[in-house]
Structure 1
Amino acid sequence: MADPKAGGIVKKGQEEGLELAVALLKEFELPEGLLPLADVVEVGYVKETGYVWIVQRKKVEHEFKMVSKLVSYDTEITGFILNKRIKKLKGVKAKEFLLWPPVNDISIEDPSTGKIHFKSLAGVTKTFPIQAFAAGQ
């Protein structure tokens, strides 16, 4: 199997890595606060396939206060970024009661209704206002 990272743009370190991550979110019309990253080691993106990966030193838990949602980001996050969507996402979990189901698809309707949808492998979809995931939330 071919390396999914082959031919990718790679940025090392917190500053450059975060810059690339935010630039990708902007380019694909996704909220900039969607990936609250800390201690970034590497961020990469393969334009031809949309494959994106993020490596951080430690797991990050972040609460999106506007929607009272606790989300966990693993040390490695991967997925495929498209316009207004991230699919086949790995490394992100959202707390639901006592469980942490993995989130594997994030999408925004086009034309936008101001809502963002998070789908888990179990087929459960949660919908929230996009502004809850704006930068600084």
Structure 2
Amino acid sequence: MSFGEKRSWIYVVSALVVSAVYFAVVLGRVPGADVRRIAYVWPMLTAIGVAVVLNIVATVVAAITSPRERDKEDERDKEINRFGEYVGFYVVSVCALLPLGLAMMEAEHFWIANALYLAFVLSSIASSIVKIVAYRRGF
């Protein structure tokens, strides 16, 4: 497994786990509550911070455990990364229509912020999955 594929696996797993915990905690407070009173800012910032730190730590561990692979990046790796980032860009662009629509409807900030966070999460997951598939099936 190339180092680029390992990074993609790290990214998709951390995005899935951290965002699932965040949405379970925050959306679990919604039933019967006034969303204007739900504290979501610090949990969201914490989730973003945890995801960043988790990615960095896991990538460093992967680099330490396979030092010969970490510096090997060929043209195929660059093309797979570029393709995955393109897909992620299109996913976030389409998904951003939801928070934009919510803002235009003057929805609560809670829903706008969470829809935007979801757009970024879906983008990172889609990008990583596309990269993993490209590594596994060929590009």
Tell me the TM-score normalised to structure 2 length: 0.25
Structure scoring higher RCO (CA < 8 A, sep ≥ 6) equals 2
Higher strand share: 1
Higher Cα radius of gyration: 2
Higher helix share: 2
